[in-house]
Chain A
Amino acid sequence: MNLIKRLAVGALAGVLAVSLVACGGTTPASSAAPGASSAAATTGSNILNVMVEVEVASLDPQLATDGTSFEVIADYTDGLMQMDSTGKAVAAIAESYDLSDDGMTYTFHLRKDATWSNGDPVTADDFVFGWQRAADPANASEYSYMLSDIGQIKNAAEIIAGEKPVTDLGVTAVDANTLKVELNVPVSYFLSLMYFPTFYPINRAFYEGLATGTFGTSPETVLSNGAFVLDSYEPATLAFSLVKNPNYYNAADVKLDGLNYQVIKDSQQAFLSYQNGDLDIVKLSGDQVDQVTGDPELNVVGAGYMWYITMNGHDVPALNNANMRLAITNAMDRASIVNDVVKDGSVATYTAVPPQFATGPDGTDFSADQTRFADVCSDDAAKAAEYYEKAKEELGQDTFTFELLLEDQTETQNVAAVLKEQIEKALPGVTLNLKVEPKKQRVEDIQNGNYEVCLTRWGPDYADPMTYLNMWVTDNSNNYGLWSNTEYDQIIADCTTGKYITDAEARWSALYDAEKIVMDEAVIAPLYTKADANMIKSNVSNIEFHPVALNRVYKNAVKG
C-alpha cells in the first residue's frame, strides 16, 4: 500500500507539474519580450490596431445585427453601393444604375473587375442569393424587415411570412453583371440601403460547397470582395486580424496593410493599452472623456441613436393628457444632462428626429435646427410649470406618481437620477420612482406596455427621418405608448407609399409636418443624441465614422 500511496501523491504532483510545463510548452515566443512584440506591431508596420467592445456576433451578413459585426463584414465585403465620407451612397460593386420612370425598378450594372478572394467574379446572382437568404424564413434573419417594410422589395413580406417561395423575391440576375430589383412602391432612400450588410452578396457556389453551419466561422469559410481579407478569426474570438486584399478592384486606394482587432471590455484597460501604443483607436467612457478634454487626439463623432422618454398614455390616465406630457418634456434640463452627466460629446436633442444622420434634398441635416420646436420643447422650467397647471386643472388632481423604467447601465442610471431631480423640482407634486431592470427585461416590459415612463433609445436603420417617425404610427410595434393620430398616420403613409414618394422636397416638408405633431403632443420627450468619443493616434487619419449602418469604415484610412 505504501507504493500506492506514493503513486497517488506522485500523480497529484505530476498533474501540477504537467500543468506548469504545458503552459511553458505552448510558448516558443516566451523568451522574446512580449511588450516589445506588440509595440513592434504598432510602430513597425502599416497595420491599424483597433479596439472593439464586444465580440463579433456573426460574420454572416444576413444574420448579423450589431455594429461590430457590420463593421468587420464591411471591412472585407462590398455591397452594390458604399458610403462616402459624408454617408452618401456612392458606387461600389455597382458601377451604375438605372431607375425606371415609375421609381419602382432599379437596374444595377455591376463592375466586371470585382472578384471574390477565390478568384470567382462577383455576379448578379451572388446578390440574388444573399437577398434570398435574408428573406428566407428558415434563416430567421432579424433584419429581414430591411427587405420588406423598409426596402419594399416585391414579395419580400410574403416570403418572410412563409406565403411565397424565396424564388419569388423581386430581385433577378438579368445576366452576370445586371441585377434587376422590383419594388412595391418608390423608396427614396433605397440606394442608401445598399451599403447595409443585409444586402451584401454571397458567392452561391462557395456557400453551397461548405459544410452546413460553417459559413463565416474561419478565414477559410468566408470570401472577400472588399478592401481587406480576413486573416485570422474564430467564433467569439477576442483578437483577430485582416490584411489588405491585393485583388480588390480598388486596391490602389487602400493605404493600410491590415487591421488588428482587439476586444476589450474593460474601458480602463482599453485606454491604458492605447496610451501604451498597443492600440491606434479606442472608444472612451464618459468619465474618461473628462480626463482628456482638449486633447487633440480626442475625436467625438455622432453615434446616431437618440435617448428619449416614452410615456404610456394608454395605460396611465395622467399621461394621456398632452399638457402633462408637455410639462415633463419642458421640465428636463437637457443641456445640463449632456454637459454634467453624460459628458462625452452627446448632443442635447429637442426634435423627434435626432440630428446628424439624415440629409435632405438640399444637402442639409434634417434636424440641424434644434430650435424648430422650441415653443413646445425646451429646457424651460417656467413653461413646464404653465403646462403643469393646465394639466392639473384638466385632470383634477395635484399629486402624481410615475414609475420611470430604465436599464442597469451606469450612464442611464446617472441620467435617470438627474431627470428625477429636475422633473420633481420643476413640477411640485410629481414623484418619479426609478425602476432599474436588465436591458432585456426593460425592452420586454415596454414592448408589452408594462411601464409608465421609460428611458429608452433608438438607433437609425437607414439615413432617412422615417426611421424615427415611422415608429409613432398607429400599431407600430415601437409605439409603446399606443399613441394614435389619424392625421399623422396619413402623412406618414403619404411619405412612404403615397403621394409624396416621387417628390423629394414635398416629402421632406411633409416629414416636418409629421414631426411637428409628435412634438406638439409630446408623444415622446427627446433627450440627447449619443456621441462616441474616440481617441485616435495623431498619425492616423481618414477613418470614416457614420451613425447609420457602418459605424467605422477603414478602407480610406491612412496610418503614418
Chain B
Amino acid sequence: MKRYIFKRVLISVFTLLAITLVLFTLLQLMPGSPFNDEKLNESQRAVLDAKYGLDQPLVVQFGRYVANLVKGDFGVSYNISKNTPISQLVQTRLPVSINVGGMAVGLGALVGLLLGIVAALNRGTAADTIATIISVLGVSVPSYVFALALSYVFGFELSWLPMLYDTKAAFASSILPSIALSMFTMASIARFTRNEMLEVMGSDYMLLAESKGVHGAPLIMRHALRNTLIPIITVLAPLIVDLMTGSLVVEKIFSIPGVGSLLVTAIQSNDYNVVIALSFIYSAMYIGIMLVVDILYGIIDPRIRLSKDSGDAASGRPGFFARWAKVWGGSSKKKAVKVHE
C-alpha cells in the first residue's frame, strides 16, 4: 500500500510540473502581451518587459518560475491588481470559491441521492419519469442560465436573497449561486444513483436478505443504499473540482469574489502570472482529489487491495473515464472490476 501511494504521489508531482510547462508555453503563443495598450510606445513596453523579466528566454523564465513556485511564490499580477503577490489574491478568494462550490456539491449530492433513490424505488412510475426529466434538465441546461433565472426570481422579483455577493452575508449570498452550480451535480448523481440502486436491488444478496425476512427501510438503508454509496463517492470527488471550474461564469453573474471570476479577468487581460497560478491551483486540486479518491477507493474496495497485492496497483481499476462512462452508459461497475479478478 505504501509503495502504491508513493508511486501515485510521484506521478502527481510530475503531472503538475508538466502542466505548468504546457501552460507557460501556451501563454507565450497567446497573442499580445500583458503590456499592450495604445498609450504605451515601444520603449515603454521594453522597460516593462525588462522589469518583469518577460524579455528573457522562455527556458529562463520557466526555470525561475518553478524555483519561485517551490518557495510558494506565484509571482505578481501585471494588470488586474498591479504588483500584488498572487498568493495574496488567492488567499482571500479561494475560500470563497470553495465555500460556494462545497455548498453546491453538498446540495447536489443530497438532492441527487434522494431523487435517484426515489426514482429507483418507484421504477417505471410517474415519480421515476419526473426524476428523469429533472436530471435531463439539470445536465443539459448550463449553470449560468439557472443562475440568471434564480437571480431574477429570488433576487430581483422577490428580494429574498441578495443578487450580488455580499461578504457581510456570505451564507445568504451563496445560496443562489450554490443552487445554480449544484444542478449538474444533482442530475449526475441522481442518474448514477438510480442505475446503481437498481442494479443492487436486483442482486442475489438482496434476494437473500429479503428471503431471510428483512423488509422495508432496513432492507433499503442497510443493504441497498450502503452498497450504492461507495461508487457514488468516486464520481462525486471529480465533480467537486468540476464545480470550481464551472463556476467561472456563475461567479461573474453574482459578482462573487472567487478565483473563477479572477481567472476570467486574467485571461482577458493577459495577466500571465495569474492565469498560470490559478490553472496550477486548479490542476493541483484536481490531482490532489483524484489522488485521495484513488487511495480511499483502495481502502474501501477490497478487490482493489487484492489486485494491488499482485503488484499491479493501478492498471486493473476502473479509471476516471471508465467511471464517467458508467454514469452515462449505465454499464456495471461490478463487471468492470470483475475483469481483473
Supply 29 A–B pairs (Cβ within 8 Å), ascending by A: A5-B300, A8-B296, A16-B106, A16-B109, A19-B103, A20-B103, A22-B102, A23-B99, A23-B174, A24-B171, A26-B171, A27-B170, A34-B166, A55-B80, A56-B81, A57-B80, A58-B82, A60-B82, A140-B47, A145-B41, A213-B83, A217-B84, A217-B88, A238-B257, A272-B155, A272-B156, A438-B31, A440-B270, A441-B32
From B7-15, B157-165, B325-333, the one touching the partner chain is: B157-165
A142 within 8 A of B: yes
B203 within 8 A of A: no
Instruction: Give A437 to B80 CA distance when docked, in angstroms.
Output: 21
A478 within 8 A of B: yes
Instruction: Give A557 to B260 CA distance when docked, in angstroms.
Output: 35
Q: Mark A348-378, 1 if CB is under 8 A from B, else 0.
A: 0000000000000000000000000000000
B229 within 8 A of A: yes
Chain B contacts for A9, CB-based, 8 A: 229-230, 233, 300
Chain B contacts for A438, CB-based, 8 A: 31-32
A269 within 8 A of B: yes
Instruction: Give A29 to B171 CA distance when docked, in angstroms.
Output: 8
Flag if B47 contacts A19 (CB, 8 Å): no
Smallest Cβ-Cβ distance to B83: which chain A residue: A213
Looking at chain B's contact residues, the main secondary structure is: helix
Chain A contacts for B37, CB-based, 8 A: 65, 142, 443
Binding site for A on B (CB under 8 A): 31-33, 35-42, 44, 47-48, 51, 76-77, 79-85, 88-89, 92-93, 98-99, 102-103, 105-106, 109, 148, 151-152, 155-156, 159-174, 229-230, 233, 252-257, 261-262, 265, 269-270, 296, 299-300, 302, 305
Chain B contacts for A275, CB-based, 8 A: 156
Chain B contacts for A238, CB-based, 8 A: 165, 255-257, 261
Flag if B161 contacts A8 (CB, 8 Å): no
CB contacts under 8 Å to B, within A476-504, are 477-478
Smallest Cβ-Cβ distance to A18: which chain B residue: B102
Flag if A35 contacts B31 (CB, 8 Å): no
Q: Shortest beta-carbon distance, B40 to chain A, in Å?
A: 6
Flag if B174 contacts A276 (CB, 8 Å): no
Which listed residue, A26, A29, A236, touches B81 by the CB 8 Å rule?
A236
Q: Shortest beta-carbon distance, B173 to chain A, in Å?
A: 7
Chain A contacts for B257, CB-based, 8 A: 237-239
Flag if A57 contacts B161 (CB, 8 Å): no
Q: Shortest beta-carbon distance, A265 to chain B, in Å?
A: 5
CB contacts under 8 Å to B, within A257-285, are 262-266, 268-269, 272-273, 275-276, 278
Smallest Cβ-Cβ distance to A139: which chain B residue: B51
Which listed residue, A1, A30, A447, touches B302 by the CB 8 Å rule?
A1
Given A5-B299, A217-B88, A447-B36, 4 more A-B residue pairs with CB atoms under 8 Å apart are A5-B300, A12-B233, A26-B171, A27-B169
Chain A contacts for B169, CB-based, 8 A: 27, 29-30, 32, 34, 37
Instruction: Give A276 to B158 CA distance when docked, in angstroms.
Output: 10
Which listed residue, B42, B79, B252, B261, touches A447 by the CB 8 Å rule?
B42
Instruction: Give A285 to B41 CA distance when docked, in angstroms.
Output: 31
Chain B contacts for A27, CB-based, 8 A: 169-172
Instruction: Give A33 to B166 CA distance when docked, in angstroms.
Output: 12
Smallest Cβ-Cβ distance to B43: which chain A residue: A161
Which listed residue, A24, A269, A456, touches B151 by the CB 8 Å rule?
A269
A205 within 8 A of B: no
Which listed residue, A24, A142, A235, touches B40 by the CB 8 Å rule?
A142
Chain A contacts for B300, CB-based, 8 A: 5, 8-9
Flag if A8 contacts B299 (CB, 8 Å): yes
Flag if A142 contacts B99 (CB, 8 Å): no
Chain B contacts for A457, CB-based, 8 A: 38
A252 within 8 A of B: no
Chain B contacts for A35, CB-based, 8 A: 155, 159-162
Instruction: Give A22 to B100 CA distance when docked, in angstroms.
Output: 10
Smallest Cβ-Cβ distance to A20: which chain B residue: B106
Flag if A23 contacts B166 (CB, 8 Å): no
Flag if B106 contacts A11 (CB, 8 Å): no
Q: A142-B44, A269-B163 are in contact. Are A23 and B82 (CB under 8 A)?
A: no
Q: A58-B82, A236-B81, A236-B262 are in contact. Are A140 and B51 (CB under 8 A)?
A: yes
Chain A contacts for B269, CB-based, 8 A: 440
Q: Shortest beta-carbon distance, A164 to chain B, in Å?
A: 16
Q: A16-B106, A19-B98, A236-B89 are in contact. Are A55 and B81 (CB under 8 A)?
A: yes
Instruction: Give A118 to B171 CA distance when docked, in angstroms.
Output: 36
Flag if A272 contacts B152 (CB, 8 Å): yes
Q: Mark A121-143, 1 if CB is under 8 A from B, else 0.
A: 00000000000000001001011
Chain B contacts for A441, CB-based, 8 A: 31-32
Q: Shortest beta-carbon distance, B134 to chain A, in Å?
A: 21
Smallest Cβ-Cβ distance to B237: which chain A residue: A12
